[in-house]
Chain A
Amino acid sequence: MDIAAKLAILADAAKYDASCASSGTSKRHSAPVRGGAARGLGSTEGAGICHSYAPDGRCISLLKVLLTNACAFDCLYCVNRASSNVARARFSVREVVDLTLDFYRRNYIEGLFLSSGVIRSPDYTMEQVVRVAKSLRLDHGFKGYIHLKTIPDAAPELISEAGLYADRLSINIELPDETSLKRLAPEKDGRSVRKAMAGLRGRIEEAKAERRAPRFAPAGQSTQMIVGADAADDHAILKTSSTLYAGYQLRRVYYSAFSPIPDASAALPLKPAPLMREHRLYQADWLMRFYGFSVEEITEGGGMLDLAMDPKLAWALRNRHFFPLDVQRASREELMRVPGLGKTTVDRILSARRFRAIRSADLARLRVSLAKVTPFLRLADHRPSIALLDSGRLVERLVPPPRQLALAL
């Protein structure tokens, strides 16, 4: 099988992992220092770079492939499960290394995201994955981004080595609920996933605390949850996320709407989860992490988020007594709760209001949608109507009628 044929299979097999980040690692570069020679190949600059986008709206930042899609696990939601009839392939360590370097030199990618089906044993699989990263770093002086998937139950020495070469490590929690994990992924064990995450957190903290400690995954760890393959509602999903963020210092929890796969198992739902549900979960995740909302506040309207409106607007409509707020006096925390005001805009308002009484023209200049914010915000030249705030018409005004296109998805 030639390299392109293998790549077709092993990229196809990797695309259900939503993680694409190439940001947040230590800064490195390969430019000559004081007239010397270049030191290896590559750089990382803090912010990640998305080198392309596919029509599924996902960014292409890393060469995301599996080392092999052969797998001794039979997770029903996975296209690579043991009982699936998909074509199988396996890269050699050398092939992945060369492909990464060739793509990188042409500026197609930021680096490599390598995962693998579990073959022979967790240790054997992990060792193969680590060998790729080790060769890139040591044989080729590669300074680009490397994300490795860690295999739960792999030996601690292998995890240490992975953290030495990788920028980010991740283990997927897959499903929020352990009983559905047992049903859909009988070989996986939710407890060992959590223990592995705890182990990574411990090592990441150690490496950070001691300057002389060996490097360990400077871009931290992340995980992914599949949405809509089991009966778990959004409340359960967000509750799990908040526990994971708090417990294991995750940089990101990725949500992946369950989507039809070729050669799907009969035990799965036929219909894909709406992409809008995935989108709402990301919005809720942001509200939890950056806007000071708790899971309970976000889901107080029921276990499922409203697909027709974003969770911040939904919260505001449930909590109308909180409004209207005075743009000149409200605290940062309060302004962050106004639908239509983002973090940057709030900072700009806080700064500008020391100089002027904020009017609607000022907000318009800051590119704030007046239609969205004026029902909730008192301005120098605008007094929101309490009658409107209390009436049923407010929803109609703020929530656009569903479009046919959205239904088609």
Chain B
Amino acid sequence: MLAGPADVAGWRTAARSLLADGVPAEAVVWSTGGHGDLFAGADAGDAPACSASAPSISVPREFVELAGVGLLHSDPGRFDLFYRLLARVAANRTALGDAADPDLVRARALAKAVRRDKHKMTAFVRFREVATEAGPRFVAWFEPDHHIVEATAPFFVRRFAAMRWSILTPERSAHWDGADLMFAEGARRADAPDGDALEAVWRTYYANIFNPARLKVSAMRAEMPKKYWRNLPEASLISPMIAEAARRTSAMVAAEPPVPKKGQRLMSKPIAPLSPDGNDIDALREEVDGCRNCPLWADATQAVFGEGPDDAEVVVVGEQPGDREDIAGRPFVGPAGALFDRAAEAAGLDRSRVYVTNAVKHFKFEPRGKFRLHKSPSTSEIAACRPWLARELSTIRPRLVVAMGATAARAVIGKPVKIGEARGRLTTSAEGVEVLVTVHPSFLLRLPDEARKREEYDRFVADLGLAAPFVKAA
């Protein structure tokens, strides 16, 4: 005998002690007090007496949660079902793993229906404002399918704690006075107010947010079944809106294109000022963002140009911007850039006197879910980007260019270079600039073996050490 149709705690206590006494599911008759239950009263005296302190039975939390929700269903067989399931779960904790078990499927279906009913209550309760001596009060009439009022009322407390409100339903009513939540008997529709002045404004919104050119009535009814309509102030508009939709749409399609309204002041895009000599670094930076010499611009966010003093003695060239550089619009800010900074400091290379840039200015990648996987630029993309590097170098006129990795080496020297053979030696380019080839820091990041990583890092620092005197000499 439970205290009411939503008495989950009572069921739990009773079920535990019944189970402890070894009472089989077939022998239990569950009944709820009041509320016109068929067996109420008659069986109450015959029900097995429950021991007051129920022994604790260990069941998975998943079952407790499932039963807590599913028991609120209006199906009269729910107490039997969950008791049966409890007995099985108590005997075998893994019983909930068999997702195709008929009892479990049924229990999940009940819980799902209750969750949906609760969710629809949070969605479709419509408060109407009533003036009272103590100030405004908000009252709603709602008709849920299941015994969910107690379980859903806390949602309205969390949301509308600052208001005084009541939700009336045929079975139970919930009242909030600003400090306490109280439950009382059910009510009648006539107990709730029959309107609110703001509903006309709400209907105006509903009518105008609707797009008559895309009628999808079944999609609406799947989510907002007709049974709710009688308590929704906007629902009276649905039929006339559907009836009018086809006419409104064909009128829009048939309408002659109107004469455009004249005399509108349109906003013009700010035009970047062209720098007079057209070849200083800032002008190049503006220009490169519009580069369409290869297809890489389309998927990238922006071109990432070089950064550093425009009279630097040393220019360091990397491969291409990575994910972080593409987002920030600045070179060498990602993990490889951070490693380069560390190595440069170790090598005594004054980072603030170095200009850093990349052989290719747009990020090349392959989208993979939420991430972008780096892809090496092709020969033609390196070639397409080479003029930008050349203009950077001819503007800065460094004494040394450090090319990190095969892509950079190819772009600086103009032909394929074997890093292993060329690294760590100063050579002179055709243009008479000294060139130092070394590895790209991302190569170090990819090495799986820690010892090898340390060794390669030391070689990288040693290579960069060759560049340090070029800065110090200044």
Kindly state the separation between the CA atoms of A47 and B122 in the bound complex, as whole angstroms. Answer: 11
- Asked if B140 is an interface residue, CB under 8 A from chain A, the answer is yes
Known: A11-B205, A365-B100. A246 touches B365 (CB 8 A): yes
Q: What is the 8 Å Cβ interface bit string for chain B, positions 196-207, against chain A (1 contact, 0 not)?
A: 101011101111
- Asked if B266 is an interface residue, CB under 8 A from chain A, the answer is yes
Least CB distance, A152 to chain B, in whole angstroms: 11
Known: A50-B123, A54-B209, A105-B163. A362 touches B100 (CB 8 A): yes
Kindly state the separation between the CA atoms of A105 and B199 in the bound complex, as whole angstroms. Answer: 12
Least CB distance, B323 to chain A, in whole angstroms: 8
Interface residues of A in 26-67 (CB under 8 A from B): 29-32, 35, 38-43, 45, 47, 49-60, 63-64
Kindly state the separation between the CA atoms of A347 and B108 in the bound complex, as whole angstroms. Answer: 14
- Asked if B368 is an interface residue, CB under 8 A from chain A, the answer is yes
Inter-chain contact B158/A43, CB cutoff 8 Å: yes
Q: What is the 8 Å Cβ interface bit string for chain B, positions 260-287, against chain A (1 contact, 0 not)?
A: 1110111111000000000000000000
- Asked if B162 is an interface residue, CB under 8 A from chain A, the answer is yes
Known: A11-B209, A103-B202, A272-B213. A195 touches B302 (CB 8 A): yes
Looking at the complex, which one of A52, A187, A191, A366 makes contact with B105 (CB distance below 8 Å)? A366
Which of B127, B206, B210 is most buried by chain A, counting CB atoms within 10 A of its CB? Answer: B210
Known: A41-B162, A106-B138, A257-B214. A4 touches B204 (CB 8 A): yes
Interface residues of A in 112-129 (CB under 8 A from B): 118, 121
Least CB distance, A226 to chain B, in whole angstroms: 13
Inter-chain contact A64/B242, CB cutoff 8 Å: no
Determine, out of B369-377, B391-399, B407-415, the stretch whose residues face the partner at the interface.
Answer: B369-377
Inter-chain contact A348/B99, CB cutoff 8 Å: yes
Kindly state the separation between the CA atoms of A99 and B198 in the bound complex, as whole angstroms. Answer: 10
- Asked if B74 is an interface residue, CB under 8 A from chain A, the answer is no
Known: A106-B129, A243-B367. A54 touches B220 (CB 8 A): yes
* Cβ–Cβ < 8 Å partners of B200 in chain A: 4
Inter-chain contact B257/A106, CB cutoff 8 Å: no
Kindly state the separation between the CA atoms of A64 and B162 in the bound complex, as whole angstroms. Answer: 24
* Cβ–Cβ < 8 Å partners of B299 in chain A: 243, 247
- Asked if A398 is an interface residue, CB under 8 A from chain B, the answer is no
Inter-chain contact A358/B100, CB cutoff 8 Å: yes
Q: CB within 8 Å of B: which residues of A?
A: 3-4, 7-9, 11-12, 14-16, 29-32, 35, 38-43, 45, 47, 49-60, 63-64, 72-74, 82-85, 99, 102-103, 105-108, 118, 121, 178, 187, 189, 191, 194-195, 197-198, 201-202, 242-243, 245-247, 249, 257, 259-266, 270-272, 275, 289, 347-349, 351-352, 354-356, 358, 362-363, 365-366, 409
**Besides A53-B224, A260-B213, 16 new A-B residue pairs in contact (Cβ under 8 A), listed by A number:** A4-B200, A8-B204, A15-B208, A30-B159, A35-B179, A43-B155, A49-B119, A54-B220, A57-B214, A72-B264, A82-B266, A99-B201, A107-B127, A246-B368, A247-B327, A261-B213
Give the 9 A-B CB pairs with smallest separation, nearest first.
Answer: A57-B216, A57-B219, A246-B367, A38-B161, A83-B260, A266-B257, A29-B158, A348-B99, A362-B100
Complex A-B: 19 CB contacts under 8 Å: A8-B208, A29-B159, A32-B161, A50-B223, A52-B234, A56-B214, A58-B216, A59-B223, A72-B266, A72-B267, A105-B127, A195-B301, A197-B301, A198-B329, A247-B326, A260-B249, A275-B214, A352-B101, A362-B100
Q: CB within 8 Å of A: which residues of B?
A: 97-102, 105, 119, 122-129, 138, 140, 155, 157-163, 178-179, 196, 198, 200-202, 204-220, 223-224, 232, 234, 238, 241-242, 245, 249, 252-253, 255, 257-258, 260-262, 264-269, 289, 298-299, 301-302, 323, 326-329, 365, 367-372
